[in-house]
Structure 1
């Protein structure tokens, strides 16, 4: 057992965010193919790479729980690290979305496994949080991951697999959870001490609730864009601009793999805007969508190259938000 622990890297669950970014970008390319006729092979290749990364990370995740149980339990009990564990289930459901056009029966099985894990973890984590005792310093946007991200991706996957009614239920859970949690996070940002530099990249998750929510909303509805779709994207754009304005402060500790926390929200922003154009959206979306999509592609391309450099230099998890020192239980 010690030999396995010495040979297998013990990676934080937060690295599942890479899968969200890659498959999210692949989904953007699928939408761009439908809207503008861009090469479909690029999107499917990104989905495939995301699936390969998911496979490797999932094997390492299971290995950690089997052969480094102490470290795995420490992650699960950590007030910040714990919520990243939910990404294992969320990433699994996204792999199901990627596989659906090619092998629906396999995609349904993968989705069932991802949904079961996501639901079980969200129930466990929510029950723990409701018992109180949490410090303000450990309150960050990672709180969105178990219920908000999990519910939105459940909605998207349900519709993709033909279970639209279940998707609507999941969307409701996600949007109400988002509104409740956001008020707590904003209060912490406005009234508590400044975040330590290692935790600041978690603010990238702040972009995801409105933008991934917009993709989920467009998945569970039909017809031309309505007020809700416009409102979600409008708030997402505002979050994007605020994060851009704070980028130097957020990455004061350097740009590490933790920057992938931005990517799911970014790709969802591009996807939602293109979907709105495809459903008859005019005005700002017709103007912004052709600009946002290549910008997001460029940002993820640069981040991918940077991450590969971190991997080969052995600094893949340095300064990870999962390693940030925080105080307080739960």
Structure 2
């Protein structure tokens, strides 16, 4: 509990076990890249329907997300087999442990792309993700309530289990699951409910505790996710954009305007670090909600925001993917993980 949160343990493997086994330094948080790419693929799918954009763009990004999941999954499985103590240390960490939710969220988002190949297989992946995410969220909340938490540990990573629950309804239409409306509503309700106190705790920590390291400043954009993703999940469950959905989208835009300045820390955090991927899914989720809202309320402003976010997020995420791949090819993965 005394470990500083600006160490690699915040979004990677705890220092004490980072050198254990093979790939002991590989952070589970790297599954966040799969989340970001999957979200971007969904944004382009919506753009195909709303603006007539080529569908192959969404499919290509979705294929990249699947490939990233397979490579990261193989790498983390290697870490688990050769250094189980490193995985345990990461899971037990009060901050990094929450990021195991990125694995289950990936399983909830990938089925949107997998459904193009096989709906039954996509449905099976979604079911595994939904069950795993529900159990993981229950476990994390029980751990929060059973153990004394340090105020300095209340970082944006705590949002991940909540966001995972909100993600459950997103792929339900694509995988053609019926008769589970109550479960989808449960996931949405619990996720949105816990987002409010967690947001308050994290805001309090940011205001009254020592600032987090500059390299982790972009992770503040995770605070966008419950509202950006919440908008899409709410519309999926309810079936319409009502006043509450309007409020979620407007809150997303306001928080994006407040937090966008955090992106300037991407340059300050040079050389490139894997922690940058923390910005990917919140931004992709914002692009999805913007395109969805522009379809609901067409206008110069709404379409302008949607197109701007879609274009800028696409450039940013593909640039990050290229930089990550370049680092892997040059053997810099361990350096990028710290």
TM bin, normalised by shorter chain, reads 0.7 to 0.9
Q: Distance in 2 between matches of 1:60 and 1:250?
A: 25
Aligned match of 2:302: 285
Question: Does 2:230 match 1:213?
Answer: yes
- TM-superposed CA distance for 1:18, in Å, is 0.7
Question: Does 2:311 match 1:294?
Answer: yes
Aligned match of 1:258: 275
Question: Does 2:248 match 1:241?
Answer: no
Q: TM-score, normalised by structure 2?
A: 0.86
2:76 to 56, 61, 64: 61
Q: In structure 2, do the counterparts of structure 1 residues 318 and 241 end up closer, same or farther at CA, with 3 Å as the change threshold?
A: farther
Aligned match of 1:172: 189
Q: Distance in 2 between matches of 1:291 and 1:250?
A: 20
User: Secondary structure of 1:134's partner?
Assistant: coil
User: Secondary structure of 1:156's partner?
Assistant: coil
- TM-superposed CA distance for 1:136, in Å, is 1.9
2:120 to 105, 108, 112: 105
User: Secondary structure of 2:212's partner?
Assistant: coil
Q: Which stretch of the first structure deviates more once superposed, 301-310 or 230-239? A: 301-310
Q: Distance in 2 between matches of 1:283 and 1:170?
A: 34
**8 Å CA contact retained: 1:156, 1:167:** no
Q: Which stretch of the first structure deviates more once superposed, 13-22 or 149-158? A: 149-158
> Which deviations, in whole Å up to 9, do the C-alpha atoms of 1:179-206 show, x marking residues without a partner?
1210111111111111123433321211
Q: Distance in 2 between matches of 1:130 and 1:67?
A: 32
- TM-superposed CA distance for 1:55, in Å, is 1.4
- TM-superposed CA distance for 1:127, in Å, is 0.9
- TM-superposed CA distance for 1:283, in Å, is 5.9
Q: Distance in 1 between matches of 2:336 and 2:304?
A: 38
- TM-superposed CA distance for 1:99, in Å, is 1.2
> Which deviations, in whole Å up to 9, do the C-alpha atoms of 1:87-133 show, x marking residues without a partner?
11110111122212431110111112212221222222111111232
**8 Å CA contact retained: 1:155, 1:171:** yes
Q: TM-score, normalised by structure 1?
A: 0.88
> Which deviations, in whole Å up to 9, do the C-alpha atoms of 1:23-65 show, x marking residues without a partner?
1111111111111111101101111111111112222223322
Aligned match of 2:289: 272
- TM-superposed CA distance for 1:171, in Å, is 1.1
**8 Å CA contact retained: 1:257, 1:317:** no
Aligned match of 2:206: 189
**8 Å CA contact retained: 2:156, 2:220:** yes
| RMSD, aligned CA | 2.1
- TM-superposed CA distance for 1:6, in Å, is 5.7
Aligned match of 1:158: 172
**8 Å CA contact retained: 1:152, 1:216:** yes
- TM-superposed CA distance for 1:249, in Å, is 4.6
Q: Distance in 2 between matches of 1:7 and 1:137?
A: 31
1:41 to 37, 56, 67: 56
Aligned match of 2:133: 118
Structure 2: runs of 5 or more not aligned: 1-19
Structure 1: runs of 5 or more not aligned: 324-330
Q: Distance in 1 between matches of 2:144 and 2:336?
A: 26
Q: Distance in 1 between matches of 2:22 and 2:93?
A: 25
1:130 to 132, 137, 145: 145
> Which deviations, in whole Å up to 9, do the C-alpha atoms of 1:65-90 show, x marking residues without a partner?
23211101110111221111111111
